[in-house]
Structure 1
Amino acid sequence: MRWRGQRQSRNVEDRRGQRRPLGLPIPRGKGGLIGLAVILGGLYFGVDPALLLMLVGGGGGGTPTTAVSPQDDELAQMTSVVLADTETFWHQKFAEAGKTYQEPTLVLYRGSTSTHCGRGQAAMGPFYCPADQQIYIDLSFYDDMRTQLGAPGDFAQAYVVAHEVGHHIQTLLGTSAEVRQRQQAVGQAEANALSVRLELQADCYAGAWGHYLMQQNRLEPGDIEEALGAAQAIGDDRLQRRSQGTVVPDSFTHGTSAQRLKWFQRGMENGNPADCDTFSVAQP
Structure 2
Amino acid sequence: MRLKGVRGSRNIEDRRRSGGATRAGGIGGIGLLVILALGYFAGIDVTPLLQGQAPVTQSAPRELTAEEQRAAEFSSRVLATTEEVWGQVFPAQLGRDYTPPILVLYSGITQSPCGNASGATGPFYCPADRKAYLDTEFFATLSQRLGARGDFAAAYVIAHEIAHHVQNELGILGQVNERRQAVGQTQANALTVRLELQADCLSGVWARAVDGLLEPGDIEEALNAARMIGDDLLQKRAGRVPQPHTFTHGTSAQRARWFARGYENGDLRQCDTFGAERL
Gaps spanning 5+ residues in structure 2: where?
21-35, 46-55
Structure 2 counterpart of 1:37: none
Gaps spanning 5+ residues in structure 1: where?
21-39, 50-59
Task: Single out whichever of 247-256 and 119-128 deviates more from structure 2.
Answer: 119-128
Pair 1:185–1:64, CA change in 2 (3 A): farther
- Consecutive aligned runs of 4 or more in structure 1 exceeding 6 Å deviation: none
Say which of 202, 208, 219 aligns to 2:199.
202
Map 1:104-253 → 2, pairs under 5 A: 104-121=101-118, 124-214=121-211, 217-253=212-248
AA partner of residue 171 (structure 2): G
**Could you tell me how far apart the structure 1 residues matched to 2:164 and 2:60 are?**
26
Structure 2 counterpart of 1:18: 18
Pair 1:261–1:114, CA change in 2 (3 A): same
**Could you tell me how far apart the structure 2 residues matched to 1:111 and 1:78 are?**
19
1:67, distance to aligned residue in structure 2 (A): 3.7
State percent identity of aligned pairs.
Answer: 50
1:181, distance to aligned residue in structure 2 (A): 1.0
Taking structure 1 as the reference length, the TM-score comes to 0.84
Structure 1 counterpart of 2:43: 47
Structure 2 counterpart of 1:8: 8
AA partner of residue 191 (structure 1): A
1:272, distance to aligned residue in structure 2 (A): 0.9
AA partner of residue 3 (structure 1): L
Pair 1:172–1:230, CA change in 2 (3 A): same
RMSD: 2.3
**Could you tell me how far apart the structure 1 residues matched to 2:169 and 2:78 are?**
20
Pair 1:133–1:125, CA change in 2 (3 A): same
**Could you tell me how far apart the structure 2 residues matched to 1:67 and 1:123 are?**
28
AA partner of residue 14 (structure 1): D
Contact 1:127/1:137, CA 8 A, preserved across alignment: yes
1:139, distance to aligned residue in structure 2 (A): 0.5
Secondary structure of 1:115's counterpart equals coil
Secondary structure of 2:183's counterpart equals coil
AA partner of residue 128 (structure 1): Y
AA partner of residue 225 (structure 1): E
Q: Deviations over 1:77-135 (max 9, x none)?
A: 11111110000111111112221111100011101111111111387321111110101
Contact 2:8/2:76, CA 8 A, preserved across alignment: yes
User: Are 1:103 and 2:115 matched, yes or no?
Assistant: no
Secondary structure of 1:114's counterpart equals coil
Structure 2 counterpart of 1:33: none
Contact 1:64/1:111, CA 8 A, preserved across alignment: no
Pair 1:251–1:63, CA change in 2 (3 A): farther
**Could you tell me how far apart the structure 2 residues matched to 1:45 and 1:234 are?**
6
Aligned length: 253
Contact 1:43/1:234, CA 8 A, preserved across alignment: no
Taking structure 2 as the reference length, the TM-score comes to 0.85
**Could you tell me how far apart the structure 2 residues matched to 1:109 and 1:64 are?**
14
AA partner of residue 94 (structure 1): F
**Could you tell me how far apart the structure 2 residues matched to 1:43 and 1:123 are?**
5
1:64, distance to aligned residue in structure 2 (A): 6.6
**Could you tell me how far apart the structure 1 residues matched to 2:70 and 2:258 are?**
30
1:247, distance to aligned residue in structure 2 (A): 0.8
**Could you tell me how far apart the structure 2 residues matched to 1:167 and 1:61 are?**
30
